Amino acid sequence: MTPREVDPRELRARYPDVFDRPASARLAMPAMIVAAFALLIYGLVDLDFSPSRFFAGLSQLGWITLMMIPPDPGSSLPIYLKALGETLSIALLGTTLAAVFALPVSLLAARNIIPSQILRFPVRRFLDSIRGVDTLIWALVWINVVGLGPFAGVLAIAVSDFGAFGKLFSEAIEGADQKQVEGIRASGGSPLHEIRFGLLPQVLPVIAGQVLYFIESNTRSATIIGIVGAGGIGLQLAEQIRVLEWQKVSFLILMILVAVAAIDFISGKLRFAIIGRRAVA
Amino acid sequence: MTTAVSILPEQQLAVLNAAYRRAVGRRRLRLLGGIAIVAAALVLAAIGAEVNLRTLFTYFGNFVSYFDRILTLDSGQRVWTDAGEWLWGWRKWLKMLGETLLISYVGTLIGATFAFLLNFFAAENTSPAPWLRFVVRRLLEFARTVPGIVFALIFVIAFGLGPMAGVLAIAIHSTGALGKLFSEIVENADMKPVEGIRSTGASWLSCMRFAVVPQVTAGYASYALLRFEINVREASVMGFVGAGGIGQELVVAIRKFYYSDVSAILLTIIVTVFIIDITTGWLRSHLFGKEART
């Protein structure tokens, strides 16, 4: 094939949808970008961003960072280690509690167990509203009920994860293979038998993977619920930030980073051991 | 209809049965071991977290009655009987909600911009140098792992009280989270267009602009919208540490026991989060098609 001279006009005529796109299609993208940035500018003005304030804050932040070096726990290392243990306990216990309570409820929200839309709908909306409220808000509520301390943190994580687990578990149950359930039914099993022998063996590994993943992410949540007074390392962190002990702050942040990385590593290994090298939703 | 099931002779059956029992027994033993380890960890955790079941049982009534109280007006009636009285502060709350949405919007946009600028350096197939990739990845990891509200606590001291600290905290956290997701999209991009552009003698920048960006924008926008959704929740609690938004109102109402206000503010937050979830979900499925939903 020999290359030949191409007449641009001929190309234009042949591919009108490439060369002569209507103005509306060509302007849509720039218009969206302009609108997005207009909203950004409006937001910056409305939220009191001023360059002078920004740069003053930035130089402050520079000072703070300088004062953070080197990280140094002072004499409070044992307290911090205990607080870290508390944080891990909160994450583990809260997630487990949530999973235990969410499993039966998730059965009620699964389409293949409760076929009736009317029965399922309120359960789903209930779970949705629980999920709509942030863990920190639940922590504040529980502090009002059981007082300051890590126990309120456990309950806060348990409640907010209950909503998330209910949804995830019911999705796992809906994705399960019905053939095994039908097999149990064909051999004369009761509906409870169907769930126990047909459904649970299929969904338990998936659920275990999700629980482990949540323990991982709850370690992060548990580090912050202390900020409102619900125990754990966040309490120490918030306190040291308030009294401007920057070396201790940086040490605490490092501790959190190391702990989160360690939990990530361990639960990643466990997850692969339980469900094999499959992606966890 | 009758069916005949053939049963094996006794001796053959005994061997098979024994083998089955052994196999099941081994699995049960492993399961029991696992349960024992988990139970021990839970007990340790319960001690560590100062779990006190007696407190829970004594005060659990409080938890239930707390919801009873936040759903009761000062006049003693249920909140929904007098919506005007219940939502008396709606003007103020709507304004704070608007501020919350604005915080998450500005934070997400700034975060997405930085993530966009950084992600080509973090992706394995487009990074110009290994050391640069290492540095950028660690930076993103740091921004992602430190919780947003910790950044907010520090920024409140550096930049002063107000929404600015919240915006910057959300922006940094979003940079970390989106940077990772963006770079994963780039790693999955087709490299043939890059080779095509490079063979014309184009610079690295042109390769990114004309070969990679057209492939990945839909995925980027989809993830950014998802992040916006998450950031709305995040911004609703930024006020707890003085970083602007509706959280400020909520924490005051909870701490000062303005019961009906608590439920009213919670309601506005939940409704807003619902609306944002539904809108962004719709946008993501309609604007970016199926391939962008990963």
Which 3 state secondary structure label does DSSP give B50?
A: coil
Chain A residue with the nearest C-alpha to that of B266: A133
DSSP string, B201-242: T--HHHHIIIIIHHHHHHHHHHHHHHHHHHHHHHHHHHGGGT
Question: Phi/psi of residue B72, each to 5°?
Answer: -120, 135
Q: Which residue numbers in chain B have pLDDT < 50?
A: 290-294
| Token reading at A120 | 């399922």
| Token reading at A184 | 């149990």
* pLDDT value at residue A23: 76
Chain A residue with the nearest C-alpha to that of B63: A145
Which 3 state secondary structure label does DSSP give A37?
A: helix
For residue B148, give the nearest of A219, A90, A220 by alpha carbon.
A220
Contacts of B106 in chain A (CB under 8 A): 40, 43-44, 47
* pLDDT value at residue B102: 92
Q: Do A48 and B274 touch (CB under 8 A)?
A: no
Separation of alpha carbons B142 and B182, rounded Å: 16
Quick count: other Cβ atoms within 10 Å of Cβ A48? 14
Burial B33-50 (b: 16+ CB within 10 A, else e): eeeeeeeeebeebbebbb
Which 3 state secondary structure label does DSSP give B78?
A: strand
* Per-residue pLDDT tens digits for A172-185: 888 888 888 888 88
Long-range Cβ contact pairs of B69-73 (< 8 A, separation 24 or more): B69/B259, B70/B259, B70/B260, B70/B262, B70/B263, B70/B266, B71/B260, B71/B263, B72/B259, B72/B260, B73/B260
What is the 8-class DSSP label of residue B129?
Answer: -
DSSP string, A155-211: HHHHHHHHHHHHHHHHHHHHTS-HHHHHHHHHTT--HHHIIIIIIHHHHHHHHHHHH
Contacts of B103 in chain A (CB under 8 A): 43, 47
The domains located in chain A, with CATH, are: 8-67 (no CATH), 77-275 (1.10.3720.10)
Start-to-end CA span in chain A (Å): 51
Separation of alpha carbons B176 and B137, rounded Å: 9
Start-to-end CA span in chain B (Å): 51
pTM as predicted: 0.79
Residue owning tokens 């849509």? A28
Q: Are the C-beta atoms of B248 and B117 separated by less than 8 Å?
A: no
Separation of alpha carbons B153 and A242, rounded Å: 9
Residue owning tokens 């490299």? B191
Contacts of A142 in chain B (CB under 8 A): 63
SS3 content of chain B, % helix, strand, coil (to 5): 80, 0, 20
* pLDDT value at residue B293: 40
Q: Which residue numbers in chain A have pLDDT < 70?
A: 1-4, 275-281
Instruction: Classify residue A87 as exposed, middle or buried by CB count within 10 Å of its CB (0-12, 13-18, 19+).
Output: buried
Question: Phi/psi of residue B205, each to 5°?
Answer: -60, -45
Contacts of A145 in chain B (CB under 8 A): 59-60, 62-63, 66
When scoring B64, B70, B180, B233 by the number of chain A Cβ atoms within 10 A, the one with the most, hence best to mutate, is B233
Instruction: Classify residue B128 as exposed, middle or buried by CB count within 10 Å of its CB (0-12, 13-18, 19+).
Output: exposed
* Per-residue pLDDT tens digits for A197-228: 888 888 888 888 888 888 888 888 888 888 88
For residue A90, give the nearest of A194, A229, A193 by alpha carbon.
A229
Chain A residue with the nearest C-alpha to that of B108: A40
CA distance A114 to chain B (A): 24
Contacts of A261 in chain B (CB under 8 A): 145
Chain B residue with the nearest C-alpha to that of A259: B145
Contacts of A96 in chain B (CB under 8 A): 38, 42
When scoring A144, A217, A248, A252 by the number of chain B Cβ atoms within 10 A, the one with the most, hence best to mutate, is A144
Q: Do B274 and A132 touch (CB under 8 A)?
A: yes
